[in-house]
C-alpha cells in the first residue's frame, strides 16, 4: 500500500482522470434540461410521454448493469415492473393491510423488488445465456398469471387503481419533476457502480470470465448484489408506472414492454450509460411520433434490433465513444521500465516456496500430467519447458485452481494450497497470464489492468453506490497502482486506449501489468514471448528478471530456449506429462535426453 501511495500522487496528478461513464456530463444535463423544460410547452400529452420515459429509464438504468455490463440476457424484466406496480398499488389501496402512504408503499415495493430481483437472477449463476433468458421470460409469465388469479388482492383481470403521490407531485408537471429527479438519482447511482471496481468486475465476468476468476472476482456474489439493485429500481419504476397509468391491469405488462427494456440496452450499446438512456428515449418516443406504427411496435423493435446487430454491433455507445476514433500512434514501441517496479512492488516479506508433489491429472484416457514435482522459489525465475502437449498449461491450471488434480499435493511453505477454488488464488497473491491473452476489449487498457487489483478492494457495494470519500480514495489508489504497472511494462502511453485496438504483443505486456496489480508472491506466465519480436523478447526478459528481484517467484512457461536459458534460475522439462529433467540452465542445456527430445541438435 505504502509503496503506491508514497510515490504515486505526482504521477496520478499528472495523468488524465479516468473517464467515468458520466463523462462527458453535458449530454445528461441536456436531456434533463429538456425534461425540465417540458412544462414550457404547455403540452400535457408530451409531459406524460416524458414522464413515462423517465420511469422506463429508472428500470433500464438497473437492467443496464445486468444486460449491458454483466452480459446476462434478462429479457423478462417486465415481471419486476409488475411486482412493483402491484405491491405499491395494493399497499396504497389498503387491500391487505391498513393503507400505506404512497412513498412508504414505493419503498416496500423497492424491497420486494430487491428480493425478487435475486429470485429472477439466481438461474444466471448456473445457466448459460439463452437458458437464463428463458427463465426470466418464464418468471414474467408466472407473475402475470398470479396477478390474474389472485383476485381479492390484485383485482384480477379488472385491475386496481394506482397510488396517488401527495402534493406537489399529484399534477402532471409535479409528477414529471418527481420522476425526472428520481431518474437522475438512478443514473448517478448506476454510474457510480459502473465506474467502481464492481462495474469493472461485471464487464470482466462478461468478456473474460477466466481472467476475472484469476483476479479474485467472485461472480455469484457480484451478480447477486447487482440483481438486488436492479430489482429494487425496477420495482420502484413499477410503482411510478402504476401512478402514471392511474389504473393497472395484467395486460399493462406485456411482452412488448419487456422487449422494449431489453432492446433499449442493446441498441444503446454495452458498457455505456448514455447509450441505453438514448435507447430508452428513442423507443419511448418512436411509437408516438409515428402513431400508425404503434400497432407495429413488436415488428419495429425486432427490425431495429436486426439493424443494430447487423450494422452497428456496438450500438449507440460505439457511435459516440471518442476512443473508437482516436488513432493510436504508429510505430510505437513497448519500453518496459523495470525501475517502476520499486514503487509498485516495494520490498516485501519473502514468502515460502510453492511446491507441487506428485501431481496427476488425466483428461479421459490421456494423462496430461503424470506425477509432476515442482518447486517455485521466491525471488527466482523457474522455467517450465517441453514440447507442445507436454502438460505445461495444464500444470499452470492446476496451480491456479482451474483443474483439480487426481493425485498429489500443493503447498506454499507449510500451508497446503487447496485444489480448485480459482477465485481464491488472487487472495494468496498468485497471479497469472494466459497463453491466449484474456482481455476486455471494450474497456480501456487502464481498466483492464485495474481488474487485477479487485481482490484488494476494501470498500463495499453501498459505498460504491454512493461514491463515498473512502471509496473514491480507494479508486484513486487503484488507478495510481495500475498506471505504475503500465509504466513498468512499458504501456503507459496506451492507458486510455481501448484494449481491442492493441497489438498482440502489447496485450501480452498488458496481461503482465494486470498480474502485477496483485503485487504477486507468485507469477505464472504462459508463453509470454509468443508472437514477440527479438527486441521485445529481450525487454520482456529484463522485466521478468526485475519482477523476480523484487521477491516474486516466477514460473515461466516458454518455447524460446534463449530466453529460458538467459533468465531462469531453475528449469523443469516436461515430456508427455512427466518431468524429464530438472536443474540449472547449464545442466539442462547439456542434458542428453532433453537435447534429443526437445532442444534438437
Ligand atoms: P502444453 O501447454 O504443454 O502445450 P497442455 O497442458 O495444454 O500442453 O496439454 C497437455 C495435454 O492435455 C494435451 O494432450 C492436451 O490435448 C490435453 N488437454 C489439455 N487440456 C485439456 C482439456 N481441457 N480437455 C482435454 N484434454 C486436454
Ligand atoms: Mg500450453
| Contact status, residue 446 vs residue 483, Cβ threshold 8 Å | yes
Q: Is the CB of residue 390 below 6 angstroms from any atom belonging to ligand 1?
A: yes
The pLDDT, as a whole number, for residue 153 is 86
Name the residue at shortest CA distance from atom 19 of ligand 1. 394
Q: Kindly write down the DSSP assignment for every residue of 455-503, as one continuous string.
A: GG--S-HHHHHTT-HHHHHHHHHHHHHHHHHHHHHT-GGGTTSBGGGS-
Q: Which residue has the cell 420495482?
A: 235
Burial pattern 72-102, b for ≥16 Cβ within 10 A else e, equals bbbbbbbbbbbbbbbbbbbbbbeeeeeebeb
CA of 431 to the centre of ligand 2 (A): 17
362, 365, 389, best to mutate for ligand 1 pocket (most atoms within 8 Å of CB): 389
Residues in the chain: 601
Q: Kindly write down the DSSP assignment for every residue of 235-254, as one continuous string.
A: HHHHHHHHHHHSEE-GGGS-
Q: Is the CB of residue 575 below 6 angstroms from any atom belonging to ligand 1?
A: no
Cα separation, 111 vs 236, in Å, equals: 9
Residue 435 CA, closest ligand 1 atom number: 2
Q: What ranges in 94-171 are assigned the alpha helix state H? A: 102-121, 129-149, 151-154
| Residues of the chain with confidence (pLDDT) below 70 | 1-19, 291-294, 322-326, 600-601
The pLDDT, as a whole number, for residue 325 is 65
The distance of Cα 529 from the centroid of its chain, to the nearest Å, equals 27
Residue 366, C-alpha cell as written in the block = 490421456
Q: What is the dihedral of CA 246, 178, 267, 494, to 10 degrees?
A: -160
C-alpha distances in angstroms, 225 versus 56, 71, 452, 455, 526?
A: 21, 15, 20, 16, 33
Name the residue at shortest CA distance from atom 12 of ligand 1. 368
Q: Say which ligand is closest to the CA of 527.
A: 2
Residue 397 CA, closest ligand 1 atom number: 6
In sign, the C-alpha dihedral spanning 430, 431, 436, 441 is positive
Q: Which residues pair with 415 in a beta bridge?
A: 412
CA of 453 to the centre of ligand 1 (A): 29
Q: Is the CB of residue 212 below 6 angstroms from any atom belonging to ligand 1?
A: no
HSE (CB half, 13 Å, CA atoms) of 318?
A: 15
Q: Is the CB of residue 368 below 6 angstroms from any atom belonging to ligand 1?
A: yes
Domains and CATH numbers, the chain: 1-36 (no CATH), 40-321 (1.10.3470), 338-599 (3.40.50.300)
Name the residue at shortest CA distance from atom 24 of ligand 1. 363
The pLDDT, as a whole number, for residue 542 is 95
Q: Is the CB of residue 526 below 6 angstroms from any atom belonging to ligand 1?
A: no
CA of 388 to the centre of ligand 1 (A): 9
SS3 273: coil
Q: Say which ligand is closest to the CA of 397.
A: 1
Amino acid at each position: 500500500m505504502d509503496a503506491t501511495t508514497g510515490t504515486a500522487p505526482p504521477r496520478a496528478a499528472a495523468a488524465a482522470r479516468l473517464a467515468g461513464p458520466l463523462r462527458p456530463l453535458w449530454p445528461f444535463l441536456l436531456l434533463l434540461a429538456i425534461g425540465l423544460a417540458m412544462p414550457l410547452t404547455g403540452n400535457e400529452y408530451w409531459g406524460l410521454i416524458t414522464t413515462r420515459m423517465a420511469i422506463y429509464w429508472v428500470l433500464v438504468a438497473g437492467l443496464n448493469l445486468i444486460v449491458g455490463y454483466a452480459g446476462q440476457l434478462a429479457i423478462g424484466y417486465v415481471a419486476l415492473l409488475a411486482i412493483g406496480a402491484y405491491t405499491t398499488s395494493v399497499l396504497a389501496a389498503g387491500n391487505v393491510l391498513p393503507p400505506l402512504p404512497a412513498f412508504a408503499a414505493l419503498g416496500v415495493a423497492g424491497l420486494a423488488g430487491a428480493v425478487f430481483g435475486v429470485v429472477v437472477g439466481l438461474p444466471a449463476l448456473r445457466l448459460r445465456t439463452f437458458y437464463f433468458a428463458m427463465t426470466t421470460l418464464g418468471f414474467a409469465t408466472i407473475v402475470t398469471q398470479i396477478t390474474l388469479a389472485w383476485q381479492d388482492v390484485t383485482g384480477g383481470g379488472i385491475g386496481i387503481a394506482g397510488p396517488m403521490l401527495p402534493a406537489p407531485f399529484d399534477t402532471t408537471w409535479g409528477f414529471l419533476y418527481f420522476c425526472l429527479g428520481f431518474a437522475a438519482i438512478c443514473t448517478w447511482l448506476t454510474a457510480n457502480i459502473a465506474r467502481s471496481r464492481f462495474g469493472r468486475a461485471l464487464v470482466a465476468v462478461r468478456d473474460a470470465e477466466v481472467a476475472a476468476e484469476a483476479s479474485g472476482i467472485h461472480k455469484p456474489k457480484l451478480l447477486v448484489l447487482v440483481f438486488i439493485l436492479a430489482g429494487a429500481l425496477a420495482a420502484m419504476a413499477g410503482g411510478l408506472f402504476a401512478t402514471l397509468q392511474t389504473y393497472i391491469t395484467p395486460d399493462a405488462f406485456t411482452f412488448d414492454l419487456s422487449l422494449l427494456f431489453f432492446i433499449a440496452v442493446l441498441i444503446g450499446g454495452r458498457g455505456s450509460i448514455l447509450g441505453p438512456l438514448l435507447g430508452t428515449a428513442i423507443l419511448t418516443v418512436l411509437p408516438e411520433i409515428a402513431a400508425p406504427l404503434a400497432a407495429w411496435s413488436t415488428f419495429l423493435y425486432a427490425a431495429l434490433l436486426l439493424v443494430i446487430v447487423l450494422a452497428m454491433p456496438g450500438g449507440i455507445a460505439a457511435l459516440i465513444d471518442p476512443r473508437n476514433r482516436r488513432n493510436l500512434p504508429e510505430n510505437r514501441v513497448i519500453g518496459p521500465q523495470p525501475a517502476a517496479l520499486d514503487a509498485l512492488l516495494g520490498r516485501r516479506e519473502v514468502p515460502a516456496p510453492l511446491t507441487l508433489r506428485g501431481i496427476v491429472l488425466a483428461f479421459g484416457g490421456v494423462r496430461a500430467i503424470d506425477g509432476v514435482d515442482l518447486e517455485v522459489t521466491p525471488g527466482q525465475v523457474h522455467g517450465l519447458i517441453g514440447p507442445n502437449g507436454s502438460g505445461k498449461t495444464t500444470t499452470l491450471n492446476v496451480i491456479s485452481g482451474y483443474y483439480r488434480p487426481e493425485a498429489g499435493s500443493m503447498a506454499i511453505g507449510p500451508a497446503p494450497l487447496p485444489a480448485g477454488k480459482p477465485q481464491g488464488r488472487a487472495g494468496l497473491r498468485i497471479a497469472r497470464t494466459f497463453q491466449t491473452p484474456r482481455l476486455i476489449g471494450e474497456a480501456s487498457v487502464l481498466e483492464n489492468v485495474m481488474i487485477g487489483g479487485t481482490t484488494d478492494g476494501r470498500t463495499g457495494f453501498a459505498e460504491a453506490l454512493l461514491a463515498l470519500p473512502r471509496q473514491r480514495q480507494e479508486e484513486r489508489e487503484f488507478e495510481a497502482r495500475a498506471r505504475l504497472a503500465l509504466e513498468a511494462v512499458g504501456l503507459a502511453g496506451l492507458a486510455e486506449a481501448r484494449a481491442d485496438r492493441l497489438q498482440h504483443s502489447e496485450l501480452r505486456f498488458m496481461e503482465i501489468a494486470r498480474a502485477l496489480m496483485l503485487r504477486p508472491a507468485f507469477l505464472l506466465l504462459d508463453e509470454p514471448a509468443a508472437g514477440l519480436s527479438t527486441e521485445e523478447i529481450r525487454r520482456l526478459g529484463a522485466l521478468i528478471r526485475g519482477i523476480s528481484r523484487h521477491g516474486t517467484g516466477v514460473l515461466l512457461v516458454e518455447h524460446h530456449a534463449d530466453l529460458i536459458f538467459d533468465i531462469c534460475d531453475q528449469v523443469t522439462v516436461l515430456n508427455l506429462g512427466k518431468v524429464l529433467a530438472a536443474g540449472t540452465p547449464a545442466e539442462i542445456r547439456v542434458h542428453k535426453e532433453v537435447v534429443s527430445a526437445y532442444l534438437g541438435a
